[in-house]
Amino acid sequence: MNVDRILPTDEAHDLLDLATELADRELAGRAAEFEQRAEFPREVLRTLGRAGLLGLPYAEEHGGAAQPYEVYLQVLEILASRWLAVAEAVSVHTLSCYPVAQFGTVAQRKLLPDMIGGELLGAYCLSEPQGGSDAAALTTKAVRDGDDYVVSGTKAWITHARVADFYNIFCRTGGPGARGISCLLADRNTPGIAPQAAERTMGLHASPVAQIAFDEARVPADRLIGGEGMGFTIAMSALDSGRLGIAACAVGLAQAALDYAVGYARERQQFGRSIIDFQGLGFGLADAATQISAARALVLAAARLRDAGRPYSIEAAKAKLFATDVAMRVTTDAVQVLGGAGYVADHPVERYMREAKVLQIVEGTNQIQRLVISRALAKG
């Protein structure tokens, strides 16, 4: 389905046209094969980077396109509607560039053109085996030793763990709690950094997720981002933006599932009629279309607050919560529309359903989003 969009500039229209062209040419026809092989499409990310689609929200002086976040998120939506693993990779990489772009030194920002251009792929190392939602309790330590920090600990559920060129490491340089956390930028070839075997995930098989062990890895002190004790602030600020990225991915995935289900329901004949003409099924598709439009509107409303420089973290939580729940519901219903055909890999909706689940978990579980929203309500 063609989505009728209101965009801020003619340039934004051109960018979405470019994203659609690349998504159709580079993503749509490869997704099933790469997912089956569990192979990460690194060259696709380079292609998107060289086309300027990995640096859309970042400043032109750093190699970005200086686009509003609402434009970037709609590009993500288009990519996700063709191949979620690639869209999620773009979202995670954009998140990984954020600490340096927003808090980095002049010297650190010299890395941004290669990061934003896709030559260097990033990973965001926050979660740990015993601490996902409670990020302030992380235990990975970094001890200053001369001109280096010596990092020890383990990170978990790290997207791009086995393919990244740089890592944002959130680690403890001080006392307990949020104020003792700092952020270090490490190169992949740093001795003592050891990505572990890839996790065997329900979906997103083309996206490498793994633990990373840090065994006295020495990271130069000039790779400290934002100063000691700034790590938690950096992490939470980045996650507000990252939640919108995941929400946009959810909208794109839900739209893909709806489009496929509608196409199937138009063609499938039962009792002498197309099954979409039966109200029990057609009304469900109507509800799905409405929910997707509502999710898209929530995502864009939060993005426009961000673009206006206004507080948006609560709206980002609402958007992430609603959009990912919608994606789970719509993809599940799409499988049901196809009946037995929906349960086999000949049709993509079974993959969409498996992929949707992770969107309710990453960048803060939906239970955490509800906690964020309810606390805001309690404070008034």
pLDDT at 380: 85
Residue whose pair of structure tokens reads 């929200």 in the numeric block: 57
Last residue of a domain, one of 117, 140, 173: 117
Secondary structure class of 271 (helix, strand, coil): coil
CA–CA distance, 355 with 201 (Å, rounded to integer): 10
Residues 153 and 63: their CA atoms lie apart, in Å, by 34
Look at strands 166-172 and 122-125 and give their pairing.
parallel
The pLDDT assigned to 215 comes to 97
Q: What is the pLDDT of residue 131?
A: 76
Q: Which of 70, 88, 315, 363 is catalytic?
A: 363
pLDDT at residue 118, rounded to an integer: 87
Q: State the pLDDT at residue 348.
A: 97
Pair (113, 145) in one structural domain: no
Looking at this protein, which amino acid is placed at residue 205? Answer: H
Verify that 260 and 223 share a domain, yes or no.
no
Cβ-Cβ contacts under 8 Å for 202 (sequence gap 6 or more): 354, 357, 358
Structure tokens given for 231? 């790590």
> Is 183's pLDDT higher than 80?
yes
What pLDDT digit, counting tens, does each position of 3-45 carry? 999 999 999 999 999 999 999 999 999 999 999 999 999 999 9
β-pair type (193-198, 209-220):
antiparallel
Residue 59 lies in a domain: yes
Note whether residue 172 is domain-resident. yes
Domain end: 117, 150, 175, which one?
117
Return the CATH number at 64.
Answer: 1.10.540.10
User: What pLDDT score does 136 carry?
Assistant: 84
DSSP secondary structure string for all residues of 23-67? IIIIITTTHHHHHHHT---HHHHHHHHHTT-SSTTS-GGGT----
8 Å CB contact between 228 and 174: yes
Is there a single domain that holds both residue 293 and residue 362? yes
pLDDT at 316 over 90: yes
Q: What is the phi/psi pair of residue 83, to 5°? A: -165, 105
User: Which of 216, 232, 248 marks a domain boundary?
Assistant: 232
Any domain includes 3: no
289 shares a domain with 162: no
Contact 149, 217 (CB under 8 A): no
- For residue 130, pLDDT over 90 is answered with no
Residues 253 and 337 in one domain: yes
* Residue 137 pLDDT level (bands cut at 50, 70, 90): confident
Look at residue 123 in the predicted model and tell me its pLDDT: 96
Q: Residue 72's pLDDT band (boundaries 50, 70, 90)?
A: very high
Q: Which pLDDT score is estimated for 258?
A: 98
**Among 122-136, 221-235, 282-296, which stretch is predicted with the lowest mean pLDDT?**
122-136
Residue 159 lies in a domain: yes
Looking at the structure, tell me whether residues 243 and 280 fall in a common domain: yes
**Residue 276 placed within a domain:** yes
List the CATH number of the domain containing 222. Answer: 2.40.110.10
Q: Are residues 111 and 128 in the same domain?
A: no
Retrieve residue 348's tokens.
Answer: 């993509």
Domain contains 1: no
| The two three-digit tokens of residue 274, written as one number | 């197309």
The tens digit of pLDDT for each residue in 38-65 reads 999 999 999 999 999 999 999 999 889 9
* pLDDT attached to residue 135: 81
Domain match, 303 and 221 both: no
- Above 80 in pLDDT, residue 287? yes
Any catalytic annotation for residue 363? yes
Examine residue 83 and state whether it is found in any structural domain, yes or no: yes
Q: Which domain holds residue 15?
A: 10-117
359-377 pLDDT, tens digit each: 999 999 999 999 999 999 9
Same domain, 241 and 150: no
In-domain check, residue 2: no
- Looking at residue 23, what is its pLDDT? 97
Instruction: Based on the fold, state whether residues 152 and 83 are members of the same structural domain.
Output: no
Per the structure, the count of domains in the chain is 3
Please give the pLDDT value at position 207. 96
- Clarify whether residues 289 and 340 are in a common domain: yes
Do 216 and 329 fall into the same domain? Answer: no
